[in-house]
Amino acid sequence: MTVVDLPPPLPVRDKATAVERAWGGVSPMLTRLAAERATGVLVREGGALHLDGGLVTYAESPLALGLDALLTAHGTVRGEVWREALSRADEHRGVARFLLSGGHLAEGALQLCHLAALYDAAYFALAPSSTPGRFRYGVGHRLGAVVPVPVAALERETLRRRDLLHRIWPDPRPDQAPLVRTRTAAAPRLTGRQQSLLDRIDGTRTAADLARELGRQAFHTLVDVRRLAAAGLIAPRPSPEPPSPPTAPGAASAAYGVPGPVPPPPGAAGLPPPGLADPPPPDIAERLAHTTDPHITLLKRLRDALEAL
């Protein structure tokens, strides 16, 4: 009986470990700050990320609604209550603690809205940028810690959202350009959210403008915008074409190998072309022969050159 030694089993990759190690490509600086458990604010071109002990506690972006707008847009929290909480917040007792202790908001609702605002703004704050980020140590946010998010989870969600938008419609131009409606022969059935967006598209509003006007999360608005673009219902507003430069005298002739007229020299506007007018009177000719004016001298040279042809 022959005994055959079996090869050792191939190593099996731990998917959970691979996922944990797959992050870090969105913002190397943010990855380093998370590793050193830094506290402060990372300011990037698209927004800012607040960290506490290496965890992201809040995110802000001019393209996304903040937690205050999400809470007050639909009456979850009255505007005057938020302003009072903001004025009384300090480094020990943030806005979140004031809202909870005063019974103005349930803790679950606050956490849900906080995470929605954080992930929404982080998507834009972590967008590819050509300018380096800046980190200021020790700077806290007045909201206070609600639900801190690990950097790994935040980057994975950002990449997932990028991939989702690309699969819906790979052209990113509708994300930031003013939007216009287009004509289509077979319009698909729209949801209420999509129809409310379509009704407000007038060639001046961007996706961020629409999200702000409707009190919605900016990323979810981008999802609806790209679906409308994929359906052929909207498109980025075309940029106005720059006016064509005026054609210089003789340009058309030169294009076909025919020399054009010689332009007059500086300061000689309105003078007849040299060599084509009657010769000047003797007294003027005498002055031309002895003049030191540079413009007149140039005219003489041009006249002599034309007469020699």
For the chain, 309 residues long, give each residue's pLDDT as a single digit of tens. 444 444 444 334 344 443 444 444 689 999 999 999 999 999 999 999 999 999 999 999 999 999 888 888 877 888 888 888 878 777 666 788 878 877 888 888 889 989 999 999 999 999 998 888 999 999 887 787 788 999 999 999 999 999 999 999 999 999 999 999 998 767 788 999 999 999 999 999 999 999 999 999 999 999 999 999 999 999 999 877 666 666 554 444 444 344 445 555 554 444 444 444 444 444 444 444 444 555 555 555 655 655 554
User: Taking a C-beta distance cutoff of 8 angstroms, is the pair 129, 47 a contact?
Assistant: no
Give bridge partners of residue 149 from the DSSP assignment: 56
Q: State residue 110's pLDDT score.
A: 87
Which of 176, 253, 263, 271 is closest to 222 using CA atoms? 176
For helices 218-230 and 192-200, what crossing angle results, to 10°?
A: 80
d(CA 164, CA 166): 5
d(CA 211, CA 121): 12
Q: Where are the domains of the chain?
A: 25-168, 173-184+191-236, 276-304
